[in-house]
Structure 1
Amino acid sequence: MKLLYISISGNTRSFVKRLAIYAEDAHKSNQSLPLFELKEISENSQFEVEDEKFVTFVPTYLEGGNGVDNGDTEILTEVMREYLDYEDNYKNCLGVIGSGNKNFNYQYCLTAKQYSETFNFPLLADFELRGNSADLERIYNVLKKLAVN
């Protein structure tokens, strides 16, 4: 299964790489369990048509404010939105997993929530900052169910 992600501070990159290792370890003991192909989207990425199913990981970077009546404008990660829009790539997206900082209250994972609404795919899960071992296991199990279906 392909995992597309964007990482500004390195937190999302760290998480998806650890998730791929977690999947490799699980796959060693059970060959039917999925492996993940990682694809980082950045300002320098060449846009391609995604013709296979994938999951998107996106952190939240917004202009200041409370996320309700102001401060709900995505910044820094717009290239992922553009990539999903490109040639209707979003149609092969099984869902989005968001990351953020819970200190920002309503803004926590707001970008992922906005993607879910804009592109009409589910918000599958969330994790804070770089995530922890419980997040790895929980999100792996979500992805494993998607890979089986």
Structure 2
Amino acid sequence: MTHINLLYASTEGNTKSFVEKLKKVAIEQGDTLNARLIGDETEYANETEPFFALVPTYLTGGTGTGPEVTEIFTNALGEYIDFGNNARHLKGVVGSGNRNFNVQFNLTAIRYAKKFNVPMIAAYELRGSVFDAEIIYNKIKRNIGEQ
């Protein structure tokens, strides 16, 4: 039995919907998945166990990936990870977005992985499928022991 901790941001419900799919996969595999939504109202806490982050991509400004592109709506999760020693417990990042945005698809998760020096485990589009959830859950599970 595996226990996985997950922190996520969800503004339109897409990531929350995907987390529910991940929970079903965990139950099917006899595992536990503890997922917590991190938003602007979340009080900072010191994480003491390994966790993974799921972050959607919401950007403003520019047309590519340069410095004029700014993260919006997901900053609370990044700030939470930055708090205290929380980043030390981050084991990997899963991202999402809309493929219609081309080079900006999944950009927030790519930036998190680089900033916190952890693997970018996977990406899915919008709410993701059950198939995406199965693949990504197993990738998360494999990354628990690799850190």
**Structure 1 residue 132 and structure 2 residue 120: aligned?**
no
Answer whether contact 2:52 2:91 (CA < 8 A) is retained: yes
Aligned partner of 1:123 in structure 2 is 120
Answer whether contact 1:96 1:121 (CA < 8 A) is retained: yes
Consecutive unaligned residues of structure 1, counting only runs of 5 or more, are 28-33
Which of 74, 85, 91 is the aligned partner of 2:88? 91
Q: Percent of aligned positions with the same letter in both sequences?
A: 42
RMSD value, Cα? 1.4
**Structure having the larger proportion of residues in helix:** 1
CA distance in 1, matches of 2:17, 2:68: 26
CA distance in 2, matches of 1:69, 1:112: 15
Which of 48, 67, 90 is the aligned partner of 2:45? 48
CA distance in 1, matches of 2:47, 2:66: 35
Q: How many residues align?
A: 143
Answer whether contact 1:60 1:108 (CA < 8 A) is retained: yes
Answer whether contact 2:97 2:126 (CA < 8 A) is retained: yes
Which of 13, 20, 24 is the aligned partner of 1:10? 13
Consecutive unaligned residues of structure 2, counting only runs of 5 or more, are none
Aligned partner of 2:25 in structure 1 is 22
Q: Tell me the TM-score normalized by structure 1.
A: 0.90
Answer whether contact 2:91 2:144 (CA < 8 A) is retained: no
Q: Tell me the TM-score normalized by structure 2.
A: 0.91
Offset of 1:148 from its aligned partner? 5.0
